[in-house]
Structure 1
């Protein structure tokens, strides 16, 4: 699949950003290619377009499917699996956010709960450590709950909230957004 200069620029940038987000560059580039592709692509086409090994593409596709942002589709007259990305950016945001929470925040909350529980039962550790861990646990539990509430809001309403963000700040009595120096 020939890429336009803009598509190339986006795919390369998405790959670079992926590494900053803790995602393999090729995984991010495969996602970017599928995101901008108007039709589902088979693995060989992805490998040829990105000039990467077919095995790397297969691994990347499995990871993206595991995240839930790429799915297999079948094309009439072709026995190969084809792949497409979710196209709605809000849906992608929801999926990636939920998955990151599940993989990163939830395990941390569980470990903090265990640590705080052990300290409360007399486990070795200072009062200071217990207070710090309790504060971290409370923060993560609160923000995690807020996050889950936000994701339960229908996309249309969430978009509306996003557009009103400055007005929401004033409604909540939080004043104007502080300026950065």
Structure 2
């Protein structure tokens, strides 16, 4: 599959951004390639397009599937697996947010809650330190509650909310 210069730039940049966000560069590049593709691609198509090792493609596809960003589809007359990425930007955002919350925020919240409980009985814990720990817990719980409030809103409602942007901030400014 020949990529245009613009597609190449997009895929390379998506890989760089993924790397900055803690995602393997090849995983991000494969996601970008599948997102841009108008047809499902085989692993061999991906190897050829990105010039990466087949084993790297296989592992990356498994990672993308575990996130729910890529799925296997079958093409009539072809026994190979073909892959396609979610195409709705809002759905991609929702899936990434949900997975990051599940993999990163939820475990952190569990430990912070345990620390808050244990901190009540820890005589060696300085009260100022406990207060800072409690602030982090309160902050993460507030973010999580807000996420839960917004995650089921339809994309059109979220778009309106985001477009309001600074208007809400100016309205609420004290």
| TM-score (norm: length of structure 2) | 0.96
Distance 1:51 1:145, change over 3 A: same
Q: Take 1:3 and 1:174, find their aligned partners in 2: how far apart are those partners?
A: 48
What is the alpha-carbon root mean square deviation over aligned residues?
1.2
Give the equivalent residue in structure 1 for 2:4.
4
Deviation at 1:128, TM superposition (A): 1.7
Deviation at 1:42, TM superposition (A): 0.6
Distance 1:142 1:78, change over 3 A: same
Deviation at 1:124, TM superposition (A): 3.7
Runs of 4+ in structure 1 over 6 Å off: none
| TM-score (norm: length of structure 1) | 0.92
Unaligned runs of 5+ in 2: none
Give the equivalent residue in structure 1 for 2:120.
120
Unaligned runs of 5+ in 1: 176-181
1:23 aligns to what SS in structure 2?
coil
- Confirm or deny that 1:129 pairs with 2:129: yes
Q: Take 1:124 and 1:78, find their aligned partners in 2: how far apart are those partners?
A: 66
Give the equivalent residue in structure 2 for 1:84.
84
Matches within 5 A, 1:45-84: 45-84=45-84
Give the equivalent residue in structure 1 for 2:164.
164
Q: Take 1:3 and 1:72, find their aligned partners in 2: how far apart are those partners?
A: 22
